[in-house]
Structure 1
Amino acid sequence: MVSPSKEKILVVDDELNIRQILETRLKIRGYEVIVACNGEEALTLFHKEQPDLVILDIMLPKIDGYTVCSELRKKSSVPIIMLTARGDISDRVMGLEFGADDYVIKPFSPKELEARIRSILRRIEKINDQNSSKTYFLQIGNLTINMQSRQVFKNNKRVRLTEMEFTLLELLVRKAGERLSRAYILDSVWGYTPERYLDTRVVDVHISRLRSKLEEDPGKPDLILTARGTGYMFQKIS
């Protein structure tokens, strides 16, 4: 299936065969693809090309994937999918903590990665269509949420959220007062159902990141609450 629009994807991997496979398959599906073989080249190409999505390997020469991800997050909310060959759960989670939106474990199925890409880009396109003709401000304590511009202000200061973080926040706010399971959140925000427990860690790390940015005391959250035995819920909005 060919993508109707020419979204641009930056593929960053030091393995030539992976770059070639992904470049070929993604171009067939209608994407514009640019490739980088190390972290230094990735940062240069990102700022020059302004891609719509980044596929980023962790183990890179010159500048590792964690650092690249962190640098991108200082100025951009572009979706980032990390590729990791590491078996340790903590290594995978670390990529999320540095700002990645999702991860795929090597060796990976190209079809699975393509499905993740389609899901993220389709969701962003849908969000843009939904928000193009409406303005929706929400005031919750010291937070101001602009649903149209997808911006959040805390004590009148802009809080930078990634696209996935804002989508997660939007879901929680729209379902305020409801207990949402991790599986439901994963399907609603990321567009796939968990095949294993580890998949739901994506939700946990993003919740933690949201709390660190929005809560007065992330260790004792007042806004994004833990629904024990279920998942999470946003405080009921009166």
Structure 2
Amino acid sequence: MMPVSIAIDGPAGAGKSTVARMVAKRLNWMYVDTGAMYRAIAFLCARSGVDPEDAQEVEAILQQHEIEFEEGSDGGLRVFVDGSDVTDHLRDPDVSSLVSAVAAHGAVRDRLTEWQRAFAKRYSVVMDGRDIGTVVLPNAAVKVFLTAQPEERARRRQSEFLQQGFHVPLDEIVQSVIERDRRDSEREIAPLRQAEDAVRIDSTNKTVEQIVDQILQLVAAHVR
């Protein structure tokens, strides 16, 4: 069978990664966490003190360091920077705060889009991000736009931070979520938007299992 792609887009904190990982596991396909790829660049900026708004400095970071991705035992991507596994550091608050700025640069998006499409050519994939159905994989067999209310997304992020040992006030996270939505939606290159042929799913007050089942029903209807 030719490789098949599922694109799951949506704003930060909508549950894309959790849902995409479970869908991939149920289908026995590869899960490609594109957010982890962008976070790898943000991690390098944080570690090196590089201004994420400076396109030339960020592009230089891409040239100076080796970034590799491997499939982990949980079916997700493990991210290696210069040979070291940095996956567990990619959701630290200091990294999260830089992702939108890093992702706005054309050179970064071009490089990562190339990597993402390479995965989809070799494997059947479930890929989540903000421009998968619109830019990276416009011909994906199934497209989903997964969203949720900002307050709900902020609570989820706060829970993630607490699990990592970071306490961040909820109102601060709500403002961060709203600001990231604005930046992601207004950027000139590959802005966050729902593809015309994507199915919109609001995850507010829904369990992960309910959302996964809904997406699998779409797959069953569209993938032969």
User: Which structure has the bigger radius of gyration?
Assistant: 1
TM-score by length of 2: 0.32
Q: Relative to total residues, which structure has the larger helix share, 1 or 2?
A: 2
Normalized per residue, the structure richer in strand is 1
Normalised to the residue count of structure 1, the TM-score between the two structures is: 0.30
Structure with more contact order per residue of length (Cα contacts < 8 Å, sep ≥ 6): 2
